[in-house]
Chain A
Amino acid sequence: MIELARKLTEAFGASGYEEEVRSVIREEIADVVDELHVDVMGNLVAYRRGSAGGAEPGKRVMLAAHMDQIGLMVTHIDEKGYLRFAPVGGILPLSCWGSQVRFADGSVGTVGLDGRVSRDDKVPALSDMYIDVGATSRSEVRQRVGDVAVFWYPFAAQGNAWFAPSMDDRIGCVVLAQLLRELKGAEISHDLYAVFTTQEEVGLRGATTSAYTISPDVAIALDVTLTGDGPYATPAMEVYMGRGVAIKVKDSGMISHPGLNRLLIAAAEAEKIPYQLEVLHRGTTDAHSMQVARQGVPASALSIPSRHVHTPSQIVDRRDVEAAIALLKAFLARPIALP
C-alpha cells in the first residue's frame, strides 16, 4: 500500500485540473472493478457489483474521496519573470513563503515574498507573494496565465508516519483504491459506487453532480480531518493521529446520519477496529453535498486524522489508513438497515 500512497500523493491534481491523478488512479483500479467511467465534471466513477440475493436486499453505497488538491493559479507574469497567483481552494498565506510548487508539466518554482513586506511578525497576504520559477526575465518563463501549481515535495515515510503535501485528500483516494483492490474476488452484499471526485476544495462540486447521477441509498466521504494532538491545539479536538479512523459526528457543513454512524460504530467494535469520534469545528467534506442530493441521502464521513492540513507537508499515520479500510470492509459485509 505504501507504493500506492507514493504514486497517488505524487500525482498532480489541482482542483479542476485532475487529469494526471485521475489517470494514475484509473490504472490502479481498472482491473478490480466492474465498470469505470469519467463523468461531465471529471469524476472517476468505479462500480463494484454486489451479490445481493440474501434476505436483506443490498443497498447502493456511494463512497467518495476527492482527487483534487489546493493550488496556486498564475494571474500575471511580470517583466522580471515573477508569477503572481490566486488561490485555488484554501491556500493559507502562512504556509506559502518558501514553499516549492510544481506545475502540471513538471516545472517547479518557489513562493517568494515581496521586499516591501515585513519579515517580522505580520502574516503577509497572498497578493504580497509570487512564484519564482528561476527565470531572469519574462521571456524565459514558459508558464502562462491560468496555469496552476501545487505544493510539491516527494512522499516520505518515517515509522508509521507518511508525509506528503497532497494528503488532503489523496490519502482518501488511497483508502478507496486499496479497498477496491482488497475486495477483488470477494463477495460484497451491496452495490458499491467508488467515486474519486473533483473540485472538492472549491465547493464540493464533483460530489454534487455525481451524487445526483448515482442517487445512492447511503453515502460516506473519505477525507482527512484535523487533530487535537498538537501543542496548544485550538480549539480543543478529541482526534489524535495514530488512534484509529475517525467517524464523523459533525462538522460545519454536515451532521452525520445517526443511524449510519451506529452501524459504523457497531462494525468497528465487532471487528475490534480502532476508531475515534470526530467533531470538527470548521470545514466540511463531500458528505455535505451527498447528504443534500436529490431527496436527501443518509451520509457520514470517515476521516484520516492529519496534522498540518492544507500546508506543504501534511502527515498521516499508516495505522489509521489501515483502520479506515478495515472498517469499510466490515461495514460493507453487513446489512445496512437504516430507520
Chain B
Amino acid sequence: MPDLCNLLERLSNEFGPSGRERSVRALIREEIAGQVDRIEVDALGNLIAFKEGTGPAPRLRVMVAAHMDEVGVMITQVQKNGALKFRPVGGLDSRLLLGKRLVIGDERIPGVIGAPPPHLQTEAQAGKPVGLDELFIDIGAENDKEAEAKVKVGDYGTFATRFTVLSRDKGWPTVRGKAFDDRAGCAVLAGLLAERYPVDLVAVFTVQEEVGLRGARAAAYRVEPDAAIALEGTVCDDLPRPEDEDTTPVTRLGHGPALSLMDRSVVVHPGLLRLLQETAEAEGIAIQYKAPAIGGTDAGAIHLTRGGVPSAVVSTPCRYIHSPASILNLNDLENVLRLVAAALRRIERAHLARM
C-alpha cells in the first residue's frame, strides 16, 4: 500500500483552484512518472496517464478520474485602499469566509478576508452573515499601487490551510486539510498506478470539475473508455447531527468507501455497481451508500460522452468539504484504493452489458 497519508498531505497543501491546476498537475506528474507507460496533458490541462493491461487483447479500457481542482476565489478588483474584491470559483458558502486566511496568485501572497472586530458590531448586524459583496481580502498593502505590485485582477486564491494529522489511532486515523474534494481522489488514483491490471487503465486527473465537470468531458471524448469510475471526496454530514435524530446522513466517516446509486449528474450503471458490490464482498471491505440525489461528479460528464460510457462513482467521505478545513479517515481512503484496485482486477465485459 502506497503511503497515502504522505501523498494526501502534499496534494492537499498544493494550490489548485479550477482553471489554475498546474502546481497540482506538476506534483502528480512527478509522483506517477515512473509508474505509467505514457503521460499526456490535453488542451484543457487534464493529466492523462496510460498504463497498459496484462490481459489478452482486446482488453477493456477503463478510465478512472479524479479532479485536481479545488474551490477558491478570483480577484476581481483592487481598491484604492489596497483591499481586494473577489468572487468565488466553484461552490463557496459566503457565511464561512469571514476571517479566513488565503494565499493569492502564483507567488502565494498571504492575505486574510477582513472581519471587523465585535467591538464595532451593531445590534442589527449581530448574528447575521456577511454577504459576498461586503467581503474583501487584505494582503497588508498600503494602497492600490502597493497591492498591484503583488496581486493582479484575475489572480486566484485558495485557503491557506496546512495539512495536519489529528489522530494516529490505527482504528480511527484522521487528518485535516483543505481541498480533500478531490485531492483524496487524486491520492487514490495515483496510488492505483502502483499496480498493473488485466485491463488497460487510463488515469485521468481532471481540471475544472468544480465549475461544471469541464475537464472530464473533453478527456472522456479523447480516451473513449469502455467503462469509467470517478473517485471523489464527498459530503459527509455525520456531524453535527442530534444523537437521537432518525435520519440517514449522506455518508458516515470511517464506514468505508461510499458507492453512489444516483446523484444529480448520473444514474450509476447497474453492472458496474454490481461489480463494486461483488468486489467489496469478496475482499471483505465494508461499504456504504451515498445518500441518493445529492451532488454531481465527473461521472456525470463522462457517462454521456459519445455513445455513452458505463460509469460509477466511489467516494471517500470528507467532513466539511468546500470549507477551509475538511476531515477524513485514512482507513476510508485506503479502503477506496483497495476496493477500486480489486475491481480493476475483476472487471469483465459482462459487467458492462444491459439486459
Contacts and interface: CB of A to CB of B under 8 A. Distances in A.
Given A16-B262, A40-B310, A78-B246, A73 B293 contact: yes
Interface string B230-259: 000000000000000011100000000000
Contacts of B246: 76, 78-79
B352 interface: yes
Contacts of A79: 246
Nearest to B291: A75
8 contacts: A40-B269, A41-B303, A73-B261, A77-B248, A146-B262, A205-B304, A209-B306, A212-B306
A253 interface: no
Ranked 5 nearest A-B pairs via Cβ: A16-B267, A209-B308, A86-B293, A40-B308, A76-B248
Interface string A188-229: 000000000001001001001110110000000000000000
A15 B266 CA distance: 10
B262 A73 contact: yes
Given A15-B267, A145-B248, A146-B261, A40 B304 contact: no
Contacts, number: 73
Interface of B: 246-248, 261-262, 267, 269, 289, 291-294, 303-310, 352, 354-355
Contact of B354 (A38, A202, A205): A38
B293 A19 contact: no
A208 B292 CA distance: 23
A167 B262 CA distance: 24
A79 B248 CA distance: 11
A17 B261 CA distance: 11
The winner among B247, B304, B352 for most chain A CB atoms within 10 A is B304
Given A87-B293, A145-B248, A146-B289, A213 B307 contact: yes
Interface residues of A, number: 31
B304 A208 contact: yes
Interface of A: 15-17, 19, 23, 38-42, 73-79, 84, 86-88, 145-146, 199, 202, 205, 208-210, 212-213
Given A16-B262, A16-B267, A209-B308, A145 B355 contact: no
A30 to B, nearest CB: 15
Contact of A199 (B247, B267, B310, B355): B267
Given A40-B309, A79-B246, A87-B293, A202 B267 contact: yes
Nearest to B311: A40
